[in-house]
Structure 1
Amino acid sequence: MAEPGRRGRAPWWWGGGAVLALAAGGIAIGTANATVYSPEAQVQDYLDALAAGEGGTAMSLASSGAEAGLPAGTATSLLQGEALQTGMAALGELTVTRGADAPDGRSTEVSVGYAVDGRQHSTTFSVEKAGRDWLFFDRWRMAAVPVQTVQVDPVNLPTEAASGPVTAAVNGVQAPLASAESPGGTDGDGGTDGDDGGGARTGQGFAVLPPLVVDATFESTYLAADPARLVVEQAVPAEPAEPAVLELAMQYTDAVSGEVNRQLESYLTGCTEQKVLQPAGCPMGYDTVNRIPPDTIEWSVTGDLQATVVPLPAEGEDATVVDPVEAHADLTLQEIDLVTGERLPVEHRDPFTLEADLDVTAETVTLTPRVP
């Protein structure tokens, strides 16, 4: 028992325990500020939301507004779901690192690194200090990351194709591209945006949040485009903000040439089947004053009867062009002399050059021969 009048002394290890508790608490606070409450954690939460296809959550974390500053008609399909997840997956493994702090210590940079097609990319975010929680833990928030626009443009698109629906696959999701008559699809003069006389150029804007890979492809029966890719890596676009353009270069499929020549063969067959001297709508004919028994008239066409379709883009005002076909029509018949009544066999050769107009849409081909 303690002696009367003397205060008891705490065991020595109490003081040591208090020191250790304070030290451990300091380490725990420092660890939490470096991990859970770090600037990198805020960016990681944003990236996780994008990877999960939760664009709304990502926009909340980045103080973004889906409608702010975006042109009317901008599609939001790349801000959510499968299309967003696909674009994030194409970035591969992400590394998140803290960069330089601002001189006043109120903000810092966080860099996200990734590789696309073997090329290194990075996106830098600004993260701002927003106070403390529970007196000890730093609170951070991402500076605003504006929603940006990627314009998917089909170029070399024939005018007749632009007047109908054109649907591309954007990040694996079918997305209609605006037609020439759609809002935003024409310029102020009533022409088509970007039209240089070699075909229509229309497109569709897609809202995106960085970082993201945007892949686009187009394939139909008669028109197709090789896959095109764009990496959206800038967290703050240049001012004034301009859409990033992803071009889909349209080309004919092999089916176009086959269909053109099928129609050409059908057209010429229709000409040769007519038992007349001037087949209607055809490039051949024969004149005589003698009488001709119709059953003796036999037309045939020989020569190089394969039409050559000029690849897109063709030069000049018409984007869809087929080269002239050089051939000749052979005619056999019998003429009856009006005076003597003599029946005379005739063989006639009529060389001709057949020109034709060509219209190509995603699902149709129309060959229209030009004849007097």
Structure 2
Amino acid sequence: MRTYRNLLISALIVVVLTVAAVPLLNLTAYTPARAAEAYIAAIEKGDAERAFSYLSGPTPSSTLALNREVLSAAPDLPRDAQAETISTDGDHATVKLSYGLSSQTQSIELSMVKLPPSAGLFDRWAIEQEKWPTLNLEVSGSSTATVNGYSVAAGEVPVLFPATYLVGFDATYLKSKSERAEVTAPGDAPKIELSPEPTAKLEEAVSEQVTEHLQNCVKATTLYPAGCVFGYDTDNEILDDVSWSLTREPQISLTASGNDLELTPSTVEVRIKGRYRDIVTAAEHDFDETLSFVLGGSVVVRASQVSFEPRRLGDVSVK
């Protein structure tokens, strides 16, 4: 009985001491500055999940780059964080935070907000973000890119700060040099413009589509093959069907043009044969002519799909 009473008394003493210590701990250990330093420590370790517990903000539009894998693959992460609480006003505070990133010391002021207490006793502070820092990715000819080696959709990509990100493109059909982007504070939104270069695989895929398009066109038996960028103009009456053949294939190469990939203009020659009746003399004749035109077109890559839209540049000449 005495043992039970002693244990109860000991437990009560612990509770009393803990409750009595809470104000002191909230003033020394659970401060806005300590929360900011803990956040940076989590980022330094690549621990995105723990870093989230020190953030208060809107739901991100995308979480593709908000994970441990992307963060851990960053070429530079913060270190040597030091924070100082500048002011406190009820549930809000301002903290001055300094840290090292990419051989430079960064210093920013953060807005902090108090969250519901931990265990009902200890203060919890978080960095208040009105909006997420983002990488604004503009990628010519593609709807995706890579951040620290991981695929994301182009456009505004929410990320964690502070960190250095490598943005680029290296896929089956497109590749580009990596661009470095530093995100050092909430609200940062660096713009990265990428102009991926076509790979040999892409040129091969486009070449196959161009060849298929032209081969289908020359199967036609009319003066204006449906869906094709060439045709034969005449005022004479054409008798029966005509026949087409491809006599000069285009040279396939690709170039970037603004936000699109374009087929480099190349000369194509097709041959048309048939028989006509002269509208003046009514005499019938065979004809055999070669048409020359410049073929261009746009190329779009989405995920693993390649599409080619042919376009004729200039008029068709007849030899």
TM-score range, shorter-chain basis? 0.5 to 0.7
Deviations 1:136-186 (A, max 9, x none): xxxxx998643462323331445xx6xxxx4543344444x3xxxxxxxxx
The letter of the residue matching 2:146 is: A
| Higher strand proportion | 2
Look up the match of 1:90.
76
The amino acid across from 2:68 in the alignment is G
Deviations 1:207-265 (A, max 9, x none): 52x4322333334443444323322334xx5xxxx442342514242244333332222
Q: Of the two, which has the highest radius of gyration?
A: 1
Question: Which residue identity does 1:322 align to in structure 2?
Answer: L
Identity of aligned residues (%): 17
2:104 corresponds to which of 117, 120, 142: 120
The answer to whether 1:363 aligns with 2:309 is no
Matched residue, 1:27: none
Match of 2:217 among 271, 275, 278: 271
Q: Go from structure 1 to structure 2 and tell me whether the alpha carbon gap of 1:368 and 1:204 turns closer, same or farther (over 3 Å shift).
A: closer
Aligned to 2:135: 152
- Per the TM alignment, residue 109 of structure 1 is displaced from its structure 2 partner at its CA by 5.8
CA RMSD across the alignment: 4.9
- 1:222 aligned to which of 173, 180, 192: 173
Aligned to 2:225: 280
Correspondence 1:350 to 2:301? no
**Cα distance in 1 between the residues matched to 2:253 and 2:49:** 52
Q: Is the 8 A contact 2:83 2:97 kept in 1?
A: yes
Matched residue of 1:91: which SS?
Answer: coil
- Structure 1 unaligned segments of length 5 or more: list them: 1-35, 129-140, 178-201
Give the Cα–Cα distance (whole angstroms) in 1 for the partners of residues 244 and 208 of structure 2: 22
SS of 1:264's equivalent in the other structure is helix
**TM-score (ref. length: structure 2):** 0.57
C-alpha distance in structure 1 between counterparts of 2:258 and 2:309, whole Å: 20
Counterpart of 2:147?
A: 170
On the 8 A contact 1:325/1:354 being kept in 2, the answer is yes
Contact 1:356 1:367 in 2 (8 A): yes
Pairing partner for 1:329 from 251, 256, 270? 270
Q: Which among 40, 44, 48 is matched to residue 51 of structure 1? A: 44
Q: Secondary structure at the match of 2:304?
A: coil
Matches for 1:169-208 after TM superposition, within 5 Å: 169-175=146-152, 177=153, 203-208=155-160
> TM-score, structure 1 length as denominator?
0.51
Shift of 1:311: 0.8
What letter is aligned with 1:146? E
Counterpart of 1:14 in structure 2 is none
